């Protein structure tokens, strides 16, 4: 049974303004870019009303409602930089399905905004991580977490952990962008993106982390994305996927925020990812 939409989601929904230089961490969404999950509804963005009628054999522009421009979008919830709510992989209680639970009632409109904000710990993932193959993702192991903590201190509850893999460098228009998601997920001709699996996600949850992000298309692997989603989302975590330009953040010291569209009953939602970086950290300018 679907729940009724509510005017306000749960939680305090108030975040104290951080200080520092604002950095945009959001992918550009466009029809020519690989912004949608390769087996989901393709993103479309079309003109509904133009300033005046304009004949064109391919797509005429019409002034249906007046001298202004407006466009419509066909968009999957998990397009571009977006958040996964627990309901994305957790069935609701009483459904009789595997992994059902109370977290299955937590749609994106019920995720407290403050869960999507906090001090960032950016974990660097080596480009030569072993295990990659056609259609297969290399695994991000707990050792990378331990190495990060040895260098930068322990990760505390409320920290937003971001995996910096550099996979967003494959986000290009047209056929060149197939290496971002399609080649690994559908064609199985290219390597999968680096992905954390259950052991490291379990450790992060044990430290009180409730928001984890990645600059790859998904937190789950290209060959078996389910287990890590279930492990994290069933315990109340949320995932911010398809981030961009994490190289602009220091390993510690930035403050992260993801602001999703407030979609009733959404299993996820696109939005804007950003971070405030201390101006004296010596990082690259935005």
Catalytic residues: 88
**Could you tell me which residues come within 8 angstroms of residue 87 by beta carbon, excluding any fewer than 6 positions away?**
103, 104, 105, 106, 107, 108, 267
What is the Cα–Cα distance from 16 to 9, expressed in whole angstroms? 18
Instruction: Report how far apart, in Å, the C-alpha atoms of 118 and of each of 24, 158, 232 are.
Output: 16, 6, 18
Contact at 8 Å (CB) between 269 and 260?
Answer: yes
Handedness of CA 107, 257, 29, 61 (dihedral sign): positive
CA 172 to chain centre: 18
């Amino acid at each position: 049974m679907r729940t009724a939409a509510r005017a306000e989601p749960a939680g305090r929904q108030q975040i104290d303004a951080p200080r520092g230089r604002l950095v945009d961490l959001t992918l550009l969404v466009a029809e020519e870019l690989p912004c949608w999950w390769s087996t989901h509804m393709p993103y479309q963005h079309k003109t509904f009303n133009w300033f005046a009628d304009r004949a064109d054999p391919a797509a005429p522009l019409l002034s249906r409602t007046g001298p202004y421009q407006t466009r419509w979008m066909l968009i999957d919830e998990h397009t571009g930089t977006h958040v996964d709510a627990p309901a994305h992989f957790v069935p609701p209680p009483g459904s009789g399905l595997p992994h059902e639970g109370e977290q299955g009632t937590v749609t994106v409109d019920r995720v407290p905004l403050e869960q999507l904000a906090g001090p960032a710990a950016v974990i660097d993932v080596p480009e030569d991580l072993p295990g990659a193959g056609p259609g297969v993702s290399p695994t991000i192991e707990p050792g990378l977490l331990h190495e990060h903590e040895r260098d930068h201190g322990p990760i505390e509850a409320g920290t937003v952990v971001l995996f910096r893999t550099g996979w967003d460098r494959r986000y290009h228009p047209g056929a060149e962008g197939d290496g971002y998601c399609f080649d690994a997920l559908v064609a199985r001709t290219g390597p999968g993106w680096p992905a954390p699996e259950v052991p490291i996600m379990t450790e992060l949850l044990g430290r009180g982390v409730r928001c984890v992000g990645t600059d790859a298309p998904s937190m789950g692997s290209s060959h078996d994305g389910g287990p890590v989603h279930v492990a994290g989302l069933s315990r109340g975590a949320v995932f911010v996927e398809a981030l961009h330009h994490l190289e602009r953040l220091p390993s510690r010291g930035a403050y992260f925020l993801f602001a999703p569209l407030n979609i009733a009953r959404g299993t996820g939602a696109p939005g804007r990812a950003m971070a405030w970086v201390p101006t004296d950290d010596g990082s690259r300018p935005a």
